[in-house]
A and B are shown apart, each in its own frame.
Chain A
Amino acid sequence: MDETIAEFIKRTILKIPMTEMTTILKAWDFLSENQLQTVNFRQRKESVVQHLVELCEENNASLNDAALLDIICEDVDLFDMKQFKSSFKKVLQRALKNVTVSFRDAEENAVWIRIAWGTQYTKPNQYRPTYVVYYSQTPYAFTSLSTLKSNIPLLGQALTIASKHHEIVKMDLRSRYLDSLKAIVFKQYNQNFETHNSTTPLQERSLGLHVNMDSRIIHENAMEKERVQRVTQETFGDHPQPQLEFAQYKLETKFRNGSILAEREEPLRCLIKFSSPHLLEALKSLAPAGIADAPLSPLLTCIPNKKMNYFKIRDK
């Protein structure tokens, strides 16, 4: 066996976690039952690997065989839904004893999880469950948190362990519409914009000028109106906005207006909340309506890009 192949096989096997070693080797089906039985898997990993590489030499492993092993390792790395579910359930049951966990597979590698929470001594409350939607191919999960604050860390732990990630971080993004959250998080809302290719000139489209208009009538501020439309479109795009209901800003910034409060060092502590059945569409309409300047503040326009709708703003 070529030295490079031996090295490659050694490194590939080293990457395999011990818990999966036998599974993978069996799937590879390159070393025989008898050969595998001669290996003491309880040794230190380096020794196990050493022994396995020697066995591969015996069988005269080729580059193809090594490549196959590599593919199998990748395959097993891919998400195992069954394992996720069982692991998730185990974590919760070990901690709480009384908990009802149900799963439903959905489209796009999504799994819906329903959890009814109890405690060590009380039965699970079926009327206030928590729902989680986990997209296995992504590092995102969406939860509806109608549950006691005390259960949240446990939920986070279960998700992290079962999905084999390192940690879970709560995002400052909330909405009543799962599809909107998905659109923002997976950047799906931009697709229309990228493929959109309009041939009508911007002027006609956005100002709705009529062809038969009396030429004696001049639109005051036509230039400014056009600029506002253009800037708004650049910021928001032509596509429908994802549906969010609110955005919240905690401000701690100094007041700056001439002589008023000029000597005051401390900032003003404000909490601003925007709410609307369709917040982004409403914000989009503000500049054209003359209620806001164009371009709108980046604090507002960054919401889909930053995937946040809860902000803390301080003076730099």
Chain B
Amino acid sequence: MDSYDAPQLTPRQSASSRPENYFIGATPLQKRLESVRKQTPFVLTPPRRKIPQCSQLQEDVDPQKVAFLLHKQWTLYSLTPLYKFSYTHLKEYSRLLSAFIVSEKQKGLAVEVGEDFNIKVIFSPLLGMKGTQKDSEAFLVQILSKSQLPSENREGKVLWTGWFCCIFGDSLLETVSEDFTCLPLFLANGAESNTAIIGTWFQKTFDCYFSPLAINAFNLSWMAAMWTACKMDHYMATTEFLWSVPCSPQSLDISYAIHPEDAKALWDSVHKTPGEVTQEEVDLFMDCLYSHFHRHFKIHLSATRLVRVSTSVASAHTDGRIKILCPKYLIGVLAYLTELAIFQIE
């Protein structure tokens, strides 16, 4: 594998520069951090977010890698900054992690029947997977089964993938020293046992901490609104919401699917601020869905728990599971998730 040149880490920004300059509409988190740092009183302003656009930087990402990342179910975690992580040592990390996995499995700590110990670990960089140049470079960790036959594809089958990234993570970057690498968003696909082993190694090696990232109903509503706001040439999937009703003794699930064109029409009728999504618009959009439902069924969906939202852009589950469907808005989706991850770390 070719050696990887470490990106130039830009020097720490002085306190006087404001992160808001880098994109329209600072997130509430950034505003909070600013006010805490400067010890000014914090005023709660209605949050607004930019509607995801196709990022310039995303043009650089290897389309094959993007195809690999789409249409997969990822489990989300937030990750605290990694201490003394170096992009020049990826090969060494591969070797160490391989050895660790094999030893853990031989210890019988994670037993899967019929498991083949012939595995290898690969760390590979994901160039271009970032929001601004300041974001740390994203990378993938993959566990592959070593193929027995030399004639087959050398790489073997991918058993597990972990994906570390940071999209518009400026606020976190500001708070840590140079020894730390900020990659607050971690996504895993594959057996839970493998995730646990990889997590343990990273925690031991880089003194960091993984924490499962749940997505509450408030954020799911935002995601639904933002992704409905995205301009699509054609729709691949219906727009769908899933609510869980807290009634006893039996549980009740309500699934509400709406034709994506109709969802867009509803959104367009609600949307006032060009290029941005506001809290008011999200609330109104959801209220419209609630009222249409109530008119027919006399049930107040607002009294139940929103558990899953699904659109042609992506789908997200409250347990912290995500599936990204549209390559154009990959960065946009990750940006929101990074924000949630950073919020959890703080």
Task: Determine if A282 and B256 form an interchain contact, defined as CB atoms under 8 angstroms apart.
Answer: no
Contact A261 B266 (CB under 8 A): yes
Q: Interface size of A by Cβ–Cβ distance < 8 Å?
A: 38
Contact of B252 among A256, A257, A275, A297 (CB under 8 A): A275
Q: CA separation between A264 and B249, bound complex, in Å?
A: 41
Q: Given the interface contacts A274-B252, A276-B253, does A268 sit within 8 Å of B292 by beta carbon?
A: yes
Interface residue? B237 (CB, 8 A): no
Nearest-neighbor residue (CB-CB) of A274 within chain B = B254
Decide: B251 and A260 in contact? CB cutoff 8 A: no
Residues of A within 8 A of B250 (CB): 276-279, 281-282, 285
Chain A's closest residue to B270 (CB) is: A260
B256→A272 contact, CB < 8 A: yes
What are 30 sample pairs from A and B whose C-beta atoms fall under 8 A apart?
A: A255-B266, A257-B288, A260-B266, A260-B269, A260-B270, A260-B284, A261-B265, A266-B262, A269-B258, A269-B262, A270-B257, A270-B259, A272-B293, A273-B253, A273-B255, A273-B257, A274-B253, A274-B254, A276-B252, A279-B252, A281-B250, A282-B250, A283-B252, A285-B250, A290-B303, A291-B247, A292-B299, A292-B300, A293-B299, A297-B296
Q: How far is the CA of A277 from the CA of B252 in the complex (A)?
A: 8
Q: Cβ of B265 and Cβ of A264 under 8 Å apart? A: yes
User: What chain B residues lie within 8 Å of A251 (beta carbons)?
Assistant: 296
- Number of A-B pairs whose CB atoms are under 8 Å? 112
In the complex, residue of chain A having the shortest beta-carbon distance to the beta carbon of B248:
A285
CB-defined interface of B230-260 with A at 8 Å, one 1/0 digit per residue? Answer: 0000000010000001111111111111110
Q: How many residues of B contact A (CB 8 A)?
A: 34
Given A257-B292, A276-B252, answer yes or no on A286-B299 (Cβ-Cβ < 8 Å): yes
Q: Which of A270, A292, A300 has the most CB of B within 10 A?
A: A270
B residues in contact with A293, CB < 8 Å: 298-300
Given contacts A268-B266, A274-B253, contact A282 B245 (CB under 8 A): yes
List 18 other contacts, CB 8 Å, given A266-B262, A275-B255, A286-B252. A251-B296, A253-B296, A260-B266, A268-B292, A270-B259, A270-B292, A272-B256, A272-B257, A272-B296, A275-B253, A279-B252, A281-B250, A282-B247, A285-B248, A292-B299, A295-B298, A296-B298, A313-B296
What chain B residues lie within 8 Å of A286 (beta carbons)? 245, 247, 252, 299
B292 to chain A, nearest CB (A): 6
A281 cross-chain contacts in B, Cβ below 8 A? 249-250
Nearest-neighbour CB distance to chain A for B99, whole angstroms, equals 46
CA A264 – CA B247 in complex, angstroms?
Answer: 36
**Contact of B297 with A255 in the complex, beta carbons under 8 Å:** no
Q: What is the CB-to-nearest-CB distance from A210 to chain B, in angstroms, rounded to a whole number?
A: 21
Majority-rule SS of A interface residues: mixed
Q: Which residues of A contact B256 (CB under 8 A)?
A: 270-272
Q: Which residues 119-175 of A sit at the B interface, judged by CB distance below 8 A?
A: none
Compute how far the CA of A278 lies from the CA of B249 in the bound complex, rounded to whole angstroms: 9
CA distance A290 to B256 in the complex (A): 20
Task: Verify if B30 is at the interface (C-beta below 8 Å from A).
Answer: no
CA distance A272 to B289 in the complex (A): 12
The residue on A at minimum CB distance from B257 is A271
Minimum distance in angstroms from A314 CB to a CB of chain B: 12
**CB under 8 Å from chain B, chain A span 226-282:** 249, 251, 253, 255-257, 260-261, 264, 266, 268-279, 281-282
Q: What's the least CB distance linking A153 to chain B, in Å?
A: 29
Within 8 A of A (CB), among B274-316: 284, 288, 291-293, 295-300, 303-304
Asked whether B300 lies within 8 Å of A297 as measured between CB atoms, the reply is no
Question: Sorted from nearest, which 10 A-B pairs have the closest CB atoms?
Answer: A269-B259, A282-B252, A273-B255, A293-B298, A292-B299, A276-B252, A297-B298, A271-B257, A282-B250, A278-B250
Contact partners of B292 in chain A: CB under 8 A: 253, 255, 257, 268, 270
With A255-B288, A260-B270, A276-B250 known as contacts, the answer to whether A291 contacts B257 (CB < 8 A) is no
Contact, CB under 8 Å: B254 / A272: yes
Residue of B253, B270, B284 with highest tally of chain A CB at under 10 A: B253
Smallest CB–CB gap between B225 and chain A, Å? 14
Q: Does A213 contact B (CB under 8 A)?
A: no
Q: Which residues of A contact B246 (CB under 8 A)?
A: 289, 291
A269 to B263 CA separation, bound complex (whole angstroms): 9
Smallest CB gap from A263: residue in B: B269
B240 to chain A: closest residue by CB: A271
A217 touches B (CB below 8 Å): no
Q: What residues of chain A lie closer than 8 Å to B251, measured between beta carbons?
A: 276-277, 282
A299 within 8 A of B: yes
In the complex the two chains form, what is the Cα distance from A286 to B250 in whole Å? 11
